[in-house]
Each structure stands twice: as structure tokens, then as C-alpha cells.
């Protein structure tokens, strides 16, 4: 069977379920390769497996288990839990690695496989390349443990309870959410069980949306990509805050009491100012991607906080944080990493940190979010048939130059390809929203003409 030489993208292996590379056959081979890579000595080794609520998760989970066990490594099954729960439980159980089955915010027909090392961080590129090489060469085909050396699979019955207590421990002891009315959208995804329990156990009055997954409704007009759900919910329930998670629970978009969206950039600004005021912001700096709103950079500059700019993708944010010794970083999309508590983005920790700031200051979120003046920003995703180097697309380059000359110092343009889908991303910022939209459409039209 033909298989691409490169399996791993910017966030693990991803594709349409039951087509290459997201097939049971490739999942089995990935399980075998991972088991071999993480098997260092003669002791019994263990790999944790979690998943979101996609229908294809059953197929891929069983294939992964078969591959892992066939190499003499045990598989520890968590069932549906958020991606950051897999990272945490891998560390908590001192397992050798963790695997999450999820395509994050993508529709249900997609799926993905991402790996964590025993420290809870995503795999470095060299280990991913090593696994690809094992699969391509077939050199693992003759490694076949037998008899008692075959691995076994078993469920971790207390996984939900472990993760809930871990998340609650990120909230100050003795502090409660008594008196808070929350609207919570769990995207029919991996957090549908744990998220309502966490906020309820902390004392909040919670109205829950999209908490009945059927294998096909994950992210279906709900969750972090559709904040209008919690915006309407805040109005209907006269709530203090709306909290919207994505399908695998690692990102969070919020709505304030005025039903205005509060995204990852707002969260970064509020958290950075809070940590700086307490003398807890490591190296007086944060990490944010090039897609962050100009308002974030202006707010941080005014506060004397350095921003380390990264490529788009939470793995690049985390790499930059580790390189510079930072304890805060994130993306506009809602991936925010509070490394004082965890190793990866966690939508529940993100929400609790904002609720903590609200509780400690006694201020509404509609008041707090004004710390970041938001510039009008338009992001358009253009379907493309392939991804040639953008600098070779003359029509696109001409459109970009025209828009940049028009904006001058009052805005900016960013164009790139998605790392997980056949899409070109066009982002334009400026002072006037109508002009920004027109500029973004001009560049998008150029992409459509070249690659549509």
C-alpha cells in the first residue's frame, strides 16, 4: 500500500479517517513504531491512549492497541478525555509515552494521532522522523514477542477523577466560583464529561451546551470555532461568562457579560498583566504567534513586557517558552499554556485562570478585556489544490504588496498555508474594518485565481 514518506505534520498525523494515512493499518504500524522507540530496557513498558468522541476513534484505538501490544508494551486506555489530560496522566502514571486520537477542531470525518513523551511534552521532530523511518523501512516486521512477552491492554478507571482533581488544583485553595453563572459549550467533544463537573464542583451555576456526543456531532456548529453559541447563551441566561472549548479540550474561547468574544490574545494580555503585577511573570516575557492581534503587541509594549513571536502552532509556542524560560504563551485561537501548571494548552485551566482574576479583582470580564485594544482583523481560509511556495505566486505577491503599501504603518498582512489542511490563510489587520475586509478579499481572490 502506498504511504507518504512524511506522516507527521505540525500536530501529529492527521487526515480523513479510513483513508491514508489515517487508516487502521497505518495506526497499527504507528503503534508498533512508538512502542519500539519508547522501549528502552527489559522492564515492562506502558503507553497511555486517550481519544475524543469521533466515531473513527474506536477503529484507530483498537489498531493502535494491537500495534503497541504486538511489540511487548502495555496500553493504558483512558477513553474520551481532553488532549491535556493525556499529557498529565502520562506524567502522573510515569508511563513511557502518551497518544491522543483527535483532529482537534476539525469535523468528525477527520482524525489524528499525536504523541507525548513521558514528560508530557509533544514529541520532538527527531523522534517523529525516527518512527517514520521504521515504518518506511519495515525493519520492525520481524520483531515479534511471544508468550508472556506480548503486551496487554487495560482501562484506567480513575482517569476522569485524576484529571478533575489536577485541574481543580490549578485554582487557589479556598477560592470558589459561588455566585458565578457560566455558559459552557463542550463541543460534543472530549471534555463533555469532565468540564461540567469541574465548574459545578467549584460552585458555579452552569448551563451546559453541546454535551451529547454521538460520534458525528463533534465541533458541529458548536465549540471554540462557533463562539456565537455561548454569546447567545450569555444573553439568554444573563450569565457572567461564556466558555467555549474545542473538540479535544485544549483551547478555550470565552464571551464576557456583554456577549463580546474574548479570545486567546485577550487571555494572554490579562494573564501577563496579572502575573507581572504579582512578580510571577518569568523573565518579564511571553510567547505569542505571528497571528496575534496588533492590540496584544501594543498592550504588552505599554506594560514593558517582551513578546517572543513564534510560528503558528502550539508546539512552536511551547518550544519558545522552554527555550526562554517562560511560564506563559499561547495563540489567538485559544491555545494558552500556563506552564506553572501543565505542559500543554488546556482549555479548562485557561478558563479557570481568567475566572480567578475576575474573583480576585472583583471586576467583570467586559471591564478586564479592555486592557487590550483590538484592531480589526480579518482571517480568510481559502481552499487550495496544492501548496507551492507562496513566493512563486506572482498574482498573490502583487496583491500583498498593494495592500501593504495601502496600509502603511497602520496595519499588516500575513499569509501562510495551514499545517493540517489544504487551505491558504490570509490575515489582514488595520484601523478600519471595512477596508480590512476588502484587502483580505483582494488577496484571497489572488489565491483562488492561482490555486483554486
How far CA 207 is from CA of 177, 245, 362, in Å, comes to: 14, 14, 22
The single-letter DSSP state of residue 326 is: -
Q: How many CA atoms lie within 13 A of 110 on its CB side?
A: 18
Helix (H) or strand (E) holding 230: helix 228-237
Specify whether the CB–CB gap between 65 and 75 falls below 8 A.
yes
Active site residue 104: yes
Round to whole Å and give the CA distance between 206 and 387.
Answer: 44
In whole angstroms, give the CA distance from residue 308 to residue 321. 9
Could you tell me how many residues make up the chain? 452
**Beta pairing class for 241-245 and 181-185:** parallel
φ/ψ of 6, rounded to 5, equals: -105, 115
Q: Quick check: pTM over 0.85?
A: yes
Max distance between CA atoms of the chain, in angstroms, equals: 71
Domain locations in the chain as residue ranges: 13-157, 377-451
CATH architecture for the domain at 377-451? 2-Layer Sandwich (3.30)
User: How does strand 241-245 pair with strand 252-255?
Assistant: antiparallel
Query: Is it true that 13-157 and 377-451 share their CATH fold?
Result: no
Burial of 57 per CB tally in 10 Å (0-12, 13-18, 19+): buried
Helix, strand or coil for residue 204? coil
Beta strands across the sheet bearing 252-255? 205-209, 181-185, 241-245, 252-255, 261-262
Contact (CB, 8 A) for 209 and 184: yes
Identified catalytic residue from 56, 104, 210, 444: 104
Number of H helices, E strands in the chain: 14, 18
Q: What is the pLDDT of residues 276-299, one digit of tens each?
A: 999 999 999 999 999 899 999 999
**Residues with Cβ within 8 Å of residue 266, at least 6 apart in sequence:** 254, 369, 371, 372, 374
pLDDT at res. 5: 55
With contact defined as beta carbons under 8 Å apart, do 197 and 254 qualify?
A: no
Gap between the Cα atoms of 303 and 102, Å rounded: 38
Burial 130-162 (b: 16+ CB within 10 A, else e): ebbebbeeeebeeeeeeeeeebebeebeebbeb
CATH architecture group of domain 13-157: 3-Layer(aba) Sandwich (3.40)
Separation CA 386–CA 445 (nearest Å): 16
Long-range contact set of residues 300-306: C-beta below 8 Å, sequence gap at least 24: 300/269, 300/272, 303/272, 303/273, 303/276, 305/272, 305/273, 305/276, 305/281
Question: Taking the chain (452 residues) in consecutive chunks of 10 residues, what is each chunk's mean pLDDT?
Answer: 64 94 97 94 92 98 98 98 98 97 96 96 91 94 94 96 98 97 98 98 98 98 97 98 98 98 98 98 97 93 97 92 98 97 97 98 98 92 95 96 92 89 93 94 97 88
Residue 378: phi and psi, rounded to 5, are -120, 130
How far apart (Å, rounded) are the C-alpha atoms in residues 123 and 125?
6
pLDDT tens column, 94-137: 999 999 999 999 999 999 999 999 999 998 889 999 999 999 99
Amino acid at each position: 500500500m502506498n504511504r507518504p514518506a512524511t506522516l507527521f505534520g505540525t500536530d501529529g498525523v492527521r487526515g480523513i479517517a479510513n483513508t491514508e494515512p489515517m487508516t487502521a493499518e497505518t495506526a497499527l504500524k504507528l503503534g508498533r513504531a512508538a512502542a519500539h522507540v519508547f522501549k528502552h530496557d527489559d522492564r515492562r513498558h506502558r503507553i497511555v491512549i486517550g481519544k475524543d468522541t469521533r466515531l473513527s476513534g474506536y477503529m484507530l484505538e483498537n489498531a493502535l492497541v494491537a500495534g503497541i501490544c504486538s511489540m511487548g508494551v502495555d496500553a493504558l486506555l483512558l477513553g474520551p478525555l481532553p488532549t491535556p489530560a493525556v499529557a498529565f496522566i502520562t506524567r502522573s502514571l510515569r508511563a513511557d509515552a502518551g497518544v491522543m486520537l483527535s483532529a482537534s477542531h476539525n469535523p468528525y470525518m477527520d482524525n489524528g494521532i499525536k504523541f507525548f513523551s513521558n514528560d508530557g511534552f509533544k514529541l520532538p521532530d527527531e523522534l517523529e522522523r525516527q518512527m517514520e523511518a521504521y515504518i518506511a523501512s519495515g525493519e520492525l516486521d520481524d520483531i515479534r514477542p511471544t508468550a508472556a512477552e506480548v503486551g496487554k491492554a487495560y482501562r484506567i478507571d480513575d482517569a476522569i477523577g485524576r484529571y478533575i482533581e489536577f485541574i481543580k488544583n490549578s485554582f487557589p485553595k479556598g477560592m470558589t466560583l459561588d455566585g458565578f453563572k457560566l455558559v459552557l459549550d463542550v463541543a460534543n467533544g472530549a471534555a463533555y464529561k469532565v468540564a461540567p463537573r469541574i465548574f459545578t464542583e467549584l460552585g458555579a451555576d452552569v448551563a451546559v451546551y453541546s454535551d451529547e456526543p454521538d460520534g458525528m456531532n463533534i465541533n458541529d456548529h458548536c465549540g471554540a470555532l462557533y463562539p456565537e453559541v455561548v454569546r447567545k447563551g450569555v444573553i439568554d441566561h444573563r450569565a457572567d461568562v461564556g466558555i467555549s472549548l474545542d473538540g479535544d479540550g485544549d483551547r478555550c474561547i470565552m464571551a464576557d457579560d456583554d456577549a463580546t468574544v474574548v479570545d486567546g490574545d485577550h487571555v494572554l494580555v490579562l494573564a501577563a498583566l496579572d502575573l507581572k503585577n504579582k512578580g510571577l511573570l518569568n523573565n518579564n516575557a511571553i510567547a505569542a504567534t505571528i497571528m496575534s492581534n496588533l492590540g496584544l503587541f501594543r498592550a504588552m509594549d505599554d506594560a514593558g513586557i517582551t513578546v517572543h513571536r513564534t510560528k503558528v502552532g502550539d508546539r512552536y509556542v511551547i518550544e519558545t517558552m522552554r527555550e526562554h524560560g517562560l511560564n506563559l504563551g499561547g495563540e489567538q485561537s485559544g491555545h494558552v499554556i500556563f506552564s506553572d501548571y501543565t505542559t500543554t494548552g488546556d482549555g479548562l485551566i485557561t478558563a479557570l485562570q481568567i475566572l480567578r482574576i475576575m474573583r480576585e479583582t472583583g471586576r467583570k470580564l467586559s471591564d478586564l478585556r479592555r486592557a487590550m485594544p483590538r484592531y480589526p482583523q480579518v482571517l480568510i481560509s481559502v481552499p487550495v489544490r496544492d501548496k507551492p511556495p507562496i513566493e512563486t505566486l506572482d498574482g498573490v505577491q502583487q496583491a500583498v504588496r498593494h495592500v501593504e503599501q495601502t496600509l502603511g504603518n497602520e496595519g499588516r498582512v500575513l499569509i501562510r498555508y495551514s499545517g493540517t489542511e489544504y487551505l491558504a490563510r490570509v490575515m489582514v489587520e488595520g484601523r478600519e474594518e471595512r477596508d480590512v475586509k476588502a484587502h483580505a478579499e483582494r488577496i484571497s481572490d489572488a489565491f483562488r485565481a492561482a490555486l483554486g
